[in-house]
Amino acid sequence: MTRFVDVPALTQLLQRKGVAPFMKDLADCLREDFLRWEDFDKSARVASHSEVGVIELMPVADDRLFAFKYVNGHPRNTAAGLPTVMAFGVLADVATGVPRLLSELTILTAIRTAAMSALAARRLARAQSRVMAIIGNGAQSEFQAIAFRDLVGIRELRLFDVDAAATAKLAANLVGQGLKVTICSGTADAVRGADIVTTLTADKQLATIITPAMIEPGMHLNAVGGDCPGKTELDRGVLEGAAVFVEYEPQSRIEGEIQQMAADFEVTEFWRVLTGEKPGRTSAAQVTVFDSVGFALEDFSALHFARDAAAELDIGSIIELVPRSTDPKNLFGALGIEAPAGAARKVPTPAGANLAHFG
């Protein structure tokens, strides 16, 4: 049997648990899974690129569970009233291959991305960070704001988007959330005085949203929008002057901010910071960058966390995604299709059988 968590079911789950507590618990789950990084069979995502976007599959597994996510990225979708990102995922038993969960992952991806960003910032940003700039105020932005409020301690947001309506939407959604919100006139204005800068732009282009002139000592950059080949947000000079941390280096070299850099440009996989193998921030003045492209292990965490939460609260439905039969070898028989009326049923005779005694 497979539990099915669609958008209404996930909405019910989030309403029952609360978005902020759900995100905090998911961040703990992410940390636990990243701490056992070497237990996982990992690979970069498989991507099919077109002129208008990308469709990807993101697989990962440990010795018990296999997970994959189907996800797209089509920046022009908003003109047609569609999300730029849509996703679903599957969680299956390694031992049998039986799918145990089929879940929406559009909303869940936004939540796990924000939780991962905040988890990284807790190690990489200055401990007393209270002001964050959000550049790009689309679908991800509210989740990032809530995650950084609750997990990092952010109390003030400085917002900018080239689409003023997106900024107005974000500001309206954050009313009553305990955050001081300032709408800014441009990127340079927004990042001025910020402890943390989160970039969430959607355009598929080699952009330089953040330049070296905007960087202040001690700043932490949470670069989320650059997540495929040919798509960046940071000037390469920003990377050259910072300590850069990534999720899975082979994937980030292809599609992260570091796609701009030479192959020997030094980066640190974040799991090494969590285990204590490598340092995170080493001084108050150091500039740090979390070059986040989204990695399949984060979806693995989100899926098994959602599965357990949904099962606990009995949310979602149980579907028969796999046929059931008393004879697993008789797949056709499981269909229950009757022979046409009047048709003779002839059973084939094994080769070499002696039929003489049948007369």
59 vs 42: CA distance, rounded Å = 7
Q: Which fold has domain 2-107+298-319?
A: ornithine cyclodeaminase, domain 1 (3.30.1780)
Contacts of 74 (CB under 8 A, 6+ apart): 52, 53, 54, 82, 84
Residue owning tokens 């007369």: 359
Q: Which pLDDT belongs to residue 47? A: 92
The pLDDT, as a whole number, for residue 325 is 81
Please give the pLDDT value at position 354: 55
Q: Which amino acid, one-letter code, is at 319?
A: I
Residue-range domain boundaries for the chain: 2-107+298-319, 115-294
- The pLDDT of residue 344 is 61
In Å, how far are 226, 242, 254, 324 from 47, measured between CA atoms? 15, 29, 11, 33
Active site residues: 227
- 200 touches 167 (CB < 8 A): no
- DSSP tally for the chain: helices H, then strands E: 10, 18
pLDDT, residue 205, reads 75
* pLDDT at res. 213: 98
Please tell me the CATH superfamily of domain 115-294, with its number.
Answer: NAD(P)-binding Rossmann-like Domain (3.40.50.720)
Residues in the chain, pLDDT under 50: 355-359
* ∠ CA 241-242-244, rounded to 5°: 140
- The CB density around residue 354, as the number of other CB atoms within 10 Å, is 6
b/e per residue, 270-281, with b = 16+ CB within 10 A? bbebbeeeeebb
Give the Cα separation of 14 and 8 in Å (integer).
10
**Residue located via tokens 């070059």:** 291
Provide the pLDDT for residue 62.
98
